[in-house]
Every structure is written in C-alpha cells, then in structure tokens.
Amino acid sequence: MNRADVMSREAPIGRALSVGMLERLPKWLNLVPMIIQCLWLGLRYRSLTLPSVTNPAITSGGMVGEGKLEYFATMGAHAQQLTARYTSLVNKGAPSLPAACAAMAECGLDYPLIAKPDIGWCGFGVRIIRDERELQHYLIAFPRGERIILQRFIADEGEAGIFYMRDPDEAQGSLLGILLRHYPRVIGDGVSTIRMLIAADPRLARLGRDGLSEPCCDVTAVPGDGEIVRVTTIGSTRVGGLYRDASAAMTPALSAAINHVARDMAQFHVGRFDVRFTSMAELREGRGFTIIEVNGAGSEAVHAWDPQFTLREAYGIVFAKQRRLYRLAAKMRARGHRPIGIIRLAQLYRKQRRLIRQYPASN
C-alpha cells in the first residue's frame, strides 16, 4: 500500500494540528444550532421525525437506535463482496466463547479481528481482539442478551466516511462529501513513555477521559526518537482522532462505485459508507476500498469538523446536508412511507445511550 499517501495527512496528530472550530465547543453546545434547524425543518415539513422514512428497510431510517447488521442484511451480492467479512452472536458472557469460535471458523475469520456492538455510535465498544483470551474478556464485559459483531480487521491505514444521497425519483445518487479519519498517534522522543506522550498532547489527552476508551497499545513502552505509534483502533475525535475533509477526492469513478453499492441495498437512499482503503489514488478511481460499516439518516456531515473550516463554514455544510435530507424525506413520505413516532424515536435513543455506557471500553 502507499503508506506515505495516508501518513502525509496523519502525522503528527496533536500538537502540530489545530483543533477544529466545532471541536472547540462542548458537544451539547455545537448541537444547539443543528437542533434548532431540525426543529424549524420539522415544522416546515410537518414532522420532526421525517428523515426516518429515507431508508425504509432500516429502523428509524438510521436516525438512531438501528443495528449495523440491518444494513448488511439489505445488501445484495455485489455490496456484500465489498464488505469486510463478519459474523455475529447474541452474548451470553463466557459461555458464548465456543459459539463465537465456531461462528468465526464457519465464516473464515481469524485473529486479529474487530469486535463491536450491533447497536452503537461513535466507536463505543469497538475493540481489536488479538487472541481467544481477549475475546473471552470482551464477551464477559459485554451486556448480556445484546448482539456482538465479529469482523475481519482491515489493516489498511486509510479510513474514509463517504456521504451518499439519492433522490427516489432518480436512478443515480451523488456524493455529498468525504471524511478522512486520522488515528491518534504519538511520536517518540526516545525518553518518554507512550502514556507520558499522550498526557502531554491536548488532543490525545481526551483518550480515556470519558471512561469508555483506552489505548490499544502498551502505554509503558518508550518509542524511539521519531518513531510513530498508533494508540487507538478507532479514529473518533472523542479519543483524539482528527477529521479532515477530502471532498476534493470525489470523482465520477468513485461516485459510480458507491452508487453501485447503494443501489444493491434495498431502499437505501441516504447515509455514510465507512471504508478502509489502500491509497487515495485508488479510492479516487473507485477501487481498493473495503466497507466496514454503513450508517443511515443520522449520519452527521462530520467532514465539517476539519480545522480548516470556520464555524460559519462548518455549520453551512451541516445545514445544507440537513435541508437536502428533509427534501428527500418529503418525497419518500409522498410515496406512502410513514415517519416513526416521536415517542418510539426517544425510546430508541434512550436504549442506545444506555447500552453505550455498558459496553467494554473501546481501544
């Protein structure tokens, strides 16, 4: 793979990179303008939950509370072929280990792999599992009766979120933007431990602050001078990751490739494809990528979190996406699809939030 193609955008994370305007605000505060806009759009279109009709085969259209497996279940052969191999099971704690190993063997999964909750958000509960002992610990810590996904670990350094939307009256959809996730990393000085390097970096110091995340490496190790060490499996900003806008990489070839996947999914009109890729050059050509997850109507336009954008520019991106989402949803409603009830949506949200607090720490 072309490692330099990705690393040139990633290293170093932290000191040398500014914090995006939206990141500087508390999460609750940066959501206020978005909520106000959603309330206004809800009143204008006479439904606060209207986006739930955009993907009729998915719970709430993917606004909140849906399972990751729901998206995979709608996929045809082409979309499945481009998706990282996976299996799943309902957790029963330690007794689930034989069933998990059997399921892995049946679909050809081996270590390392990614374990993650079916109902999740923002990388909560996502861990790299390197052996059977780590898998058993994950099963023991995971909420009983909830479904776990075991998925092939894709080692490609590049990770992108590709935003897609298709008007139901049109055969071809379009890309709204591309997000690049850059994983938290430290650069060794030959003296400091990884723990010390994390603590000294304002961005990376977020890791573990929520009590639901931890490093994926040995924090007592001392990296050599100039050595770059990735410290988490996930690239969320909540653990010190960085989001960069790569919408300039949108090409007709990539748009065609994503549209082919989306049209191979039952009634899928809006969402984000999270992919791992080998190089930006191949991604622009619409190849060399593997789908690891799909999100629906609730997908935020998080490429707006790129530090290059002013607050006004960032909200402009978010607001434009929301306006288009409601216009599309109105057309779906006109075709006979009914939005989810506000009480049911609240129940799904509460369940998701409750589960997130119970998941093992992400790494």
Q: What is the pLDDT of residue 21?
A: 63
Q: Is residue 135 part of a domain?
A: no
- Longest Cα pair distance anywhere in the chain, in angstroms? 65
Q: Using the Cα atoms of residue 197, residue 203, residue 209 and residue 213 in order, give the sign of their dihedral.
A: negative
Number of domains in the chain: 1
- What is the rounded distance in angstroms from the CA atom of residue 298 to the CA atom of residue 141? 28
What pLDDT is recorded for position 39?
94
Residue 12: predicted pLDDT: 42
Domain-located, residue 168: yes
- Residues of the chain short of pLDDT 50, as ranges, are 1-19
Evaluate whether residue 137 is within a structural domain: no
pLDDT at 20: 56
CA pair distance 199, 289, nearest whole angstrom: 34
Q: What is the pLDDT of residue 15?
A: 38
Burial of 11 (0-12, 13-18, 19+ CB in 10 A): middle
In a domain, 126, yes or no: no
Q: Judging by beta carbons within 10 Å of its beta carbon (0-12, 13-18, 19+), is residue 145 exposed, middle or buried?
A: exposed
Residue 301 is assigned to a structural domain of this protein: yes
Distances in Å between the alpha carbon of 256 and those of 46, 245, 281, 299, 360? 34, 20, 16, 21, 38
Around Cβ 274, how many Cβ atoms within 10 Å?
19
pLDDT tens digits along 64-104: 999 999 999 999 999 999 999 999 999 987 788 999 999 99
Does a structural domain hold residue 119?
no
Q: Is residue 276 part of a domain?
A: yes
Please check whether residue 8 lies inside any domain of the structure.
Answer: yes
Q: How much of the chain is in helix, strand and coil states, percent to nearest 5? A: 40, 20, 40
Which segments of 183-221 are extended strands (E)? 185-187
Whether pTM exceeds 0.75: yes
Instruction: Kindly provide the residue ranges of all beta strands, DSSP E only, lying in the chain, ordered along the sequence.
Output: 86-90, 113-117, 127-129, 147-152, 158-165, 174-182, 185-187, 228-230, 242-245, 270-277, 289-295
pLDDT in tens, 33-63: 889 999 999 999 999 999 999 999 999 999 9
Rounded to whole angstroms, the Cα distance separating 273 from 279 reads 17
Backbone angles phi, psi at 173, to 5 degrees: -95, -175
Domain that holds residue 79: 1-84+156-334
Contact 48, 39 (CB under 8 A): yes
